[in-house]
């Protein structure tokens, strides 16, 4: 395949769906309960609802939407820290656009900007570094967040800042790691996941090997999946074959992008700049050991957490918001008490409604749910 429309071919999709419908009949456990397949990445969730894949799958398959959107798992306390930095004198605070509207305990970055803070949307950390070079009298802070997908670009930017001797550039590091997150889900006492669709973009960086513990220790299969409709359907089919054959292996459907050993240059940059935190707080999931990274001592001059005073408080989500239960797959987005009512993309209460990769946002946009009758 060479062109994107080939990955959306309806005839090939129908053929894959026919195979999926046939193979579930060959899996005995499907007679007792639906198979639970978790797509870890928010990009997969978005594609599943955009193309209506969940409605096309047989009732024997239940998709569980995992915590793979970094904006969605950002706790309120970290947003409050961002605002505390942004509102200090002579600070230009920069961030990706989808983080602007994530609610803090009192306001969002967008609301802080409306109140006078110099907060600017950028498309890359290098944009923020250029701002620092053009504004030597300002302290320019980049809000670094994301899984291993975006971590290398942040690391390379800090390496560039050090090479050029830029002294007014800082990173507020909120980068997180995918493997401890999956382990935390697998260790949950009420875990009923039968298999995983692995994140494609993260795997482009880390490769296949880090997932091996899932099959070896937990006896669950994982297929690294692409993001087009045929990618997802083929990956589901590959998972079902493993489940039918009572195998638990790590397979790679997304071979056109994901090398087996990952991106060594990217991993080297990440290793040079970052080290694992002892623990990191996740929205809805609590504290997970070694699930985030921090800036190494050798790059401490660029660490916003060392340079600025921040509240660094743990803030509970609003009681009405059920983002935590949705993130863990305990409930569907539309089962949340405020979904589509007090919580909409225009007036989000929770982070899952803010990001386009959030499952609540995907349900709201593509789920064909009558919110008036919830």
Q: Give the tens place of pLDDT for each residue, 311-355.
A: 887 777 777 778 777 776 678 888 888 888 888 887 777 767 877
| Residue-by-residue pLDDT tens, the chain, 374 positions | 566 778 889 999 999 999 999 999 999 988 889 999 999 888 898 899 889 999 999 999 999 888 777 777 888 899 999 999 999 999 999 999 888 988 888 899 999 999 999 999 999 999 999 999 999 999 999 999 999 999 999 999 999 999 999 999 999 999 999 999 899 889 888 788 999 999 999 999 999 999 999 999 999 999 999 999 999 999 999 999 999 999 999 999 999 999 999 999 999 999 999 999 998 988 777 888 999 999 999 999 999 999 998 888 777 777 777 877 777 667 888 888 888 888 888 777 776 787 777 788 888 888 755 545 54
Residue with tokens 């890359």: 124
User: Reduced to 3 states, what is the DSSP secondary structure of residue 322?
Assistant: coil
Contacts of 263 (CB under 8 A, 6+ apart): 152, 204, 205, 207
SS3 category, 282: strand
Tokens of 110: 């967008």
| Rounded Cα–Cα distance for residues 193 and 344 (Å) | 29
* Interatomic CA distance for residues 141 and 2, integer angstroms: 40
Q: What angle do CA 43, 331, 317 make, to 5 degrees?
A: 85
> Sign of torsion, CA 364 367 372 374?
negative
Domains and CATH numbers, the chain: 11-362 (3.40.50.11740)
The pair phi, psi for residue 335, each rounded to 5°, is -85, -10
The model carries a pTM of 0.88
Tell me the backbone φ, ψ of residue 44, rounded to 5 degrees.
-65, -45
Report the distance separating Cα 328 and Cα 135, nearest Å: 43
d(C-alpha 224, C-alpha 238), whole Å:
10
Mean of the per-residue pLDDT values of the chain: 90
**Radius of gyration (C-alpha) of the chain in whole angstroms:** 21
- Rounded Cα distance, 85 and 119, in Å: 10
- Asked if 291 and 184 touch (Cβ cutoff 8 Å), the reply is yes
Q: Are 171 and 142 in contact (CB under 8 A)?
A: yes
User: Please, which residues bridge with residue 263 across strands?
Assistant: none
Pick from 174, 163, 109: which is nearest to 133 by CA?
A: 163
pLDDT digits (tens, 9 = 90+) for 52-65: 999 999 999 999 88
The sheet with strand 91-95 has its strands ordered as 119-121, 91-95, 139-146, 169-175
Residue that the structure tokens 């989500």 belong to: 317
Residue 151 confidence (pLDDT) = 97
SS3 355: coil
Q: Which residue has the tokens 């921040």?
A: 310
């Amino acid at each position: 395949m060479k062109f994107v429309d080939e990955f959306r071919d309806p005839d090939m999709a129908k053929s894959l769906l026919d195979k999926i419908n046939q193979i579930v009949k060959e899996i005995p456990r499907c007679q007792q309960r639906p198979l639970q397949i978790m797509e870890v990445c928010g990009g997969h969730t978005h594609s599943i609802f955009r193309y209506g894949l969940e409605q096309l799958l047989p009732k024997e398959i239940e998709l569980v939407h995992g915590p793979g959107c970094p904006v969605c798992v950002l706790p309120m306390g970290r947003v409050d820290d961002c605002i505390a930095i942004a509102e200090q004198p002579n600070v230009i605070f920069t961030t990706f656009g989808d983080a602007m509207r994530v609610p803090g305990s009192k306001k969002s970055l967008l609301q802080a900007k409306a109140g006078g803070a110099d907060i600017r949307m950028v498309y890359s950390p290098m944009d923020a570094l250029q701002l620092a070079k053009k504004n030597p009298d300002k302290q320019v802070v980049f809000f670094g967040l994301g899984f291993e997908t975006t971590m290398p670009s942040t690391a390379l930017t800090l390496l560039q800042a050090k090479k050029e001797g830029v002294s007014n550039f800082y990173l507020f590091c909120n980068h997180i790691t995918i493997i401890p997150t999956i382990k935390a889900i697998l260790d949950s006492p009420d875990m009923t996941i039968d298999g995983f669709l692995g994140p494609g973009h993260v795997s482009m960086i880390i490769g296949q090997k880090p997932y091996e513990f899932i099959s070896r220790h937990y006896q669950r299969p994982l297929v690294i999946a692409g993001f087009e409709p045929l990618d997802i359907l083929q990956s589901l089919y590959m998972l079902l074959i493993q489940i039918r054959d009572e195998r638990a292996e790590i397979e790679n459907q997304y071979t056109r992008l994901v090398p087996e050993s990952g991106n060594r240059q990217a991993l080297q940059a990440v290793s040079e700049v970052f080290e694992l935190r002892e623990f990191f707080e996740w929205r809805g999931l609590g504290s997970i050991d070694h699930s985030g990274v921090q800036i190494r001592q050798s790059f401490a001059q660029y660490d916003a957490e060392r340079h600025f005073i921040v509240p660094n408080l743990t803030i509970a989500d609003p009681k009405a918001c059920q983002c935590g239960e949705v993130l863990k797959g305990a409930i569907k987005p539309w089962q949340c008490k405020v979904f589509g009512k007090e919580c909409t993309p225009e007036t989000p209460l929770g982070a899952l409604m803010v990001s386009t990769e959030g499952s609540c946002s995907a349900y709201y946009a593509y789920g064909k749910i009558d919110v008036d009758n919830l």
